[in-house]
């Protein structure tokens, strides 16, 4: 009798469980949030993290610690995060990609000022040339870097539209880096054998292989991917990063004529900034 009373669910406990589970169950209900008639939202505020990338940081935090389970506020925040992640996953992402043709956001009309810009997060990848693990900040620091990020061929083709006329030989202090997202563990395990061999055949130029990195997507938790507007795995993304590793401009999906002009204008603007610093 005492045992039954001890383990019984009280009204308070039921209320706590309901408060934690209701947002998740609601997020699982089918929704159709994309409005094809609505204008594509324009990105205005800088994206990134307030702290510079840290090579000593093993990984960004995922979820809550054991002690956080006893903190109602933090647990509630985690439930809201999981609810949002569930609502954005899989079918929803594919639907949004198809309806928008990968153009989920319009790029800013100019690059963000250095004092307002935020940092590109820490990220580790395997270099296609030799399979060596390197940090992205190690590869980008001191140069203007165009980072193209994608998880499939379609996403790559979309962001390649921006760099068709970019030549590292002609563009002073500018480099182009490809980040190939590995979105699941199976693909990550196969990379060292099958996937890397296939990629090297597709990317035959050794200079391009030296700037092609395969990175596990799980390094950036959902919260960071949301901050950087890169949650949808089906499209491609482009970051314009300055020598101090700050994100100065961003694009999602393919390039229209106006965005292409803006992109090249932003590259030239960062080149002028760098020339002034060297004087």
Distance between CA atoms of residues 140 and 145, nearest Å: 6
What's the rounded Cα separation, in Å, for the pair 245 and 142? 8
Bridge partners of 174, per DSSP, are 144
Identify the pLDDT of residue 98.
Answer: 72
Q: What is the pLDDT of residue 14?
A: 55
What is the model's pLDDT at position 66?
A: 47
Task: List Cβ neighbours of 213 (8 Å cut-off, separation of 6 or more).
Answer: 125, 126, 127, 128, 134, 136, 139, 177, 178, 179, 180
Predicted structure pTM score: 0.77
Q: Kindly give the pairing relationship between strand 212-216 and strand 174-182.
A: parallel
Residue burial 215-231, b: 16+ Cβ < 10 Å; e: rest: bbbbbbbbbbbbbbebb
How many CB atoms lie under 10 A from the CB of residue 44? Answer: 9
pLDDT in tens, 59-106: 555 554 445 545 556 556 556 655 555 555 566 667 676 776 879 899
Domain 105-279, second-level architecture:
3-Layer(aba) Sandwich (3.40)
Count CA atoms closer than 13 A to 49's CA, side-chain side. Answer: 15
For 196, phi then psi, to 5°, come to: -65, -40
Phi-psi region of 142 (alpha: psi -120 to 50; beta: other; left: phi over 0): left
Instruction: Kindly give the interhelix angle for 11-27 and 72-88, rounded to the nearest 10 degrees.
Output: 30
Which residues face 16 on adjacent strands? none
CA distances from residue 233 to 62, 96, 195, 261 in whole angstroms, order as listed = 19, 11, 18, 26
Provide the residue ranges of all domains of the chain, joining segments of one domain with +. 15-26+57-88, 105-279
> In which residue ranges of the chain is pLDDT below 50?
1, 3, 5-7, 23-24, 27-28, 30-32, 64-66, 69, 169
pLDDT on residue 246: 98
* Mean pLDDT across the chain: 79
Count of CB atoms within 10 A of residue 153's CB? 10
* 118-119 vs 144-150, strand pairing mode: unpaired
């Amino acid at each position: 009798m005492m045992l039954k009373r001890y383990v019984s669910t009280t009204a308070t406990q039921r209320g706590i469980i309901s408060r934690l589970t209701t947002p998740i169950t609601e997020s699982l209900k089918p929704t159709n949030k994309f409005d094809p008639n609505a204008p594509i939202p324009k990105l205005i505020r800088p994206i990134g993290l307030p702290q510079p990338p840290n090579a000593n940081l093993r990984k960004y935090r995922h979820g809550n610690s054991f002690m956080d389970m006893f903190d109602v506020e933090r647990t509630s925040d985690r439930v809201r995060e999981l609810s949002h992640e569930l609502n954005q996953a899989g079918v929803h992402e594919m639907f949004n990609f198809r309806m928008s043709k990968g153009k989920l956001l319009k790029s800013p009309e100019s690059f963000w000022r250095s004092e307002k810009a935020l940092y590109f997060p820490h990220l580790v990848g395997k270099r296609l040339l030799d399979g060596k693990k390197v940090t992205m900040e190690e590869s980008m620091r001191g140069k203007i870097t165009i980072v193209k990020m994608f998880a499939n061929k379609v996403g790559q083709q979309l962001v390649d539209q921006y760099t068709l006329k970019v030549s590292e030989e002609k563009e002073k202090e500018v480099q182009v880096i490809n980040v190939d997202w590995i979105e699941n563990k199976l693909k990550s395990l196969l990379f060292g054998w099958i996937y890397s061999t296939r990629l090297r055949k597709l990317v035959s130029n050794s200079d391009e292989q030296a700037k092609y990195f395969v990175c596990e997507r799980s390094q950036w938790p959902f919260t960071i991917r949301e901050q950087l507007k890169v949650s949808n795995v089906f499209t491609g993304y482009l970051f314009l990063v300055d020598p101090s590793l700050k994100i100065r401009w961003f694009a999602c999906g393919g390039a229209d004529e106006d965005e292409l002009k803006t992109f090249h204008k932003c590259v030239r603007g960062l080149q002028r900034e760098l020339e002034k610093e060297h004087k």
